[in-house]
Structure 1
């Protein structure tokens, strides 16, 4: 028994020593992190120094009582990182210091982090030559040093990083030729906007032009270098016997070109005639609403023509038709049957600038076919331009309809599209809104991708986000059971000054479940099973997807008719997890480098809103406060920049 007891004592002592050593290591790592915070600041590094373990601090991840990941993107770090910190963080596998204002060179003791796999230091002010100790990190897989001030020659030492898959050094001041990186098998590579010259190495010519632009480089995929006769493929072809005959055209080929040219010109003439006739038809196709006899036959035809899901906004695609087509017939039928004629019912004390007959005589234009019905732009003969929504699949009684719609009409907030009036009959249910001239956010983001598109800057997008958030916050303030139920970019309409107005609120309770098709699934929270019963937390999820759409320029799954989308929350989280946050943002936003930190913060807010579990999501009041704070921050930075560097500000 004695030897057994002796063994237990030895084991216990060994475990105690190991625990003590682990505690000592973690204490050293904790001290290193606090030293880092003291050296470079960071307004969001609210680490509690009284806690024993740093593993609970924001941005710090641990395994087996060691710090293995440090994520500090966009937290306003500034100054130079001193030597002596990373020597105590030797178990690091991921280090992210991107989107900050760090200066100087990287500390040499970073070489002691031999387990480092991912290093993200892009979008800082780091300078000097690329340090050679980086080439002593054998496990390095992803390295992003872009958008700094690194200078000097492009090191050949990268060849020692045999596991490297991603190398980004764009927007620096590297000079000289690109060395032959023959020992690397890269998946991602970018050296654009440096001072490099010479030819592109053969093993890098598979990357696109964008990886090399902004230098004095030549060779595929760029233009040929001086002295090059032709592309190698062409040289191979021309070296074949009688290859000179391939440059001669036969008589048959010439005849074919002539015939093809004639046919092409004839097609252009016919197309021109067709467009002219179509334009004439558009000008004369507006009709008196009251004269349309068979309205129900119009909807399927319009749907086949590809009416966008823009819900009171977007573009009409040239379809000018009668809006409230069956109202006249239904109204007359009720009068002839002995009942009182139906009238428009207005809300509040607003002046009745028009009546039902005026609406029936108005010419109208289809705006879009959405979740709850078809929307029209109605131009009255004497009065305002209004938007009319013709509801479908209304399954409740007239009494219940009036009770619910009166609650909607009582909603009064500057960030909501006001409901002015409604009409109810057995066959027709109409809602009359203010017309929003700029259409929907969906149309603005995805409608025109051509050369004539006006880019949406950060100020416009963040303003739209704030306006929409305030409108939804107001709806939620009306009671714990009040929600929107159908938040998406096509239901965010815009004024001429790009102020956001939330539409379609309160309509989910008026219609049957068949009116909520699968194409809104991209915005729907995971816990929602009945589209008529959507909680406020589910609204927050939908708003989070909307924010992601604003920031990325991508449409969520099934959000656009006849267009492919992506699962935005999952896609963004996968990219951010790999630390490629800059690849998330819409290219139209990347030009505004002075607000990158605010963009990252809004992205994090969007991810929080789109959390899988409802209790992890913030309230809309918290969302509004967060957006207001980051907009104040970006406005202050703009003002400071104007005061210190007005010329550069004008150039932006």
Structure 2
């Protein structure tokens, strides 16, 4: 009996563990099969990491599950090259789907009739495809619809009056189709904030008053007449007709010579006017771009219309294949137009360009670097991006995607919310500052050393980072240093003037030759180590506005044997770290020697720094504890290096 009780308890425990762990990792199998069938038929040109063996909720690109991972609630596949008609009984089987974005593909055929099964659908984006036929008559089956964008397709027929029964609808975009008939009354939809019916030339009747409360761009290019404006039906007055006839008679009576001169003059005027229009368009386009990815506050302010944006049109005209190039394994699902739509915040202006935080419409945040002074052609640029994007290491910020066109070169990375090491070290040194403790500084040093060493192994041991500085090092999920902005010196113009933002990090030989090497990377890394130890910027000013170069200042202090004066006062609060700080200072000093061939290699630096850290973990007091004020003041006495 006791044995039976034991096995019963064991069975119940096993069942509980299965439910907790097995159930948590289970896939929504029916939804998974439906999407795999959809993928097989639609044949996307961009490779997706969807397969039978991988987990849908954790890995599949563009797919989002609910909290318990029992159902798929969002599918976002913009610009992946989907072809043909959406197969029936595939997407429609995702009965819990709330978000569907299949825009900017090559989807054809009519609006899928079985989408009526998607009762929870709230966001529908099918714009920029080649869909045709009539719109669904009864939109009220999707009672949760909040945003609908069907623009830039070939839909015809009337706009369904059932849209007026969607009491949660906030955005409706039907621009650039072939819709006809009357515009239904949507004044009862009080939640409506954005409407675009532009460029549907077969719509008729007067512009309804409810539509007039929106921007005029919402109804541009519509074949309807504003109320009371009937002038186009009135014949020209007789006097104008007579004047026109007289002008015609006079023109026909001119001599051939005068006629020829008029034609030549008119041609010159037309050519001059055309040149002027082109010049204005060029200037306006550059002004629209400004200093942002397209602009600093909104990457595309004029994207209020549903039609194709000027940026998108230009990029397509330059090269039909000009799309974001994603690297294998990337889970992001957006395209160039998403970046142009995204709100942007300038994170910093660096040596090679400006970096932005871009927040996409699905609330995903990415870091986008807009490069400047790129000298490499498209082929060389793409080859270098493939090298950079091929580096997968926990201490190297992974390049997710890139974009190349004649006018724009972009690089897309993960966004690190904790900010750079530069901001953590030098930002907010006031009362509310949270000091960067010694443990974290050691993690930054070890992690960034490992990352740079990994970079130096790439391309047969020839890859150079070329721009190592604290603003290009971030904290990963383990709070370890993670290196970004690598390998760009190979594609930049060698004639670009020296950048003051890189001053203080450049090795002496780089200042002279403007050519970076792996040993010049070591020098720059040594400056970062000095920043971590001193808390000072590579170039800073004193209270008397004297400009101080960090490397020279550290050398001068060490020569005077006042080594403790070097260290950041925030570090003097911690006990039992003096020996480690001195060892790290010695390592940093070996990196910033003038003779490049006397500097250690990065692989050796990893070993040296890890040895300092390992001795710490094996010491009697592994955790550094803040000192009292008296202990901190005693620690500021001079000691030898």
So what's the TM-score if we normalise by structure 2? 0.49
So what's the TM-score if we normalise by structure 1? 0.48
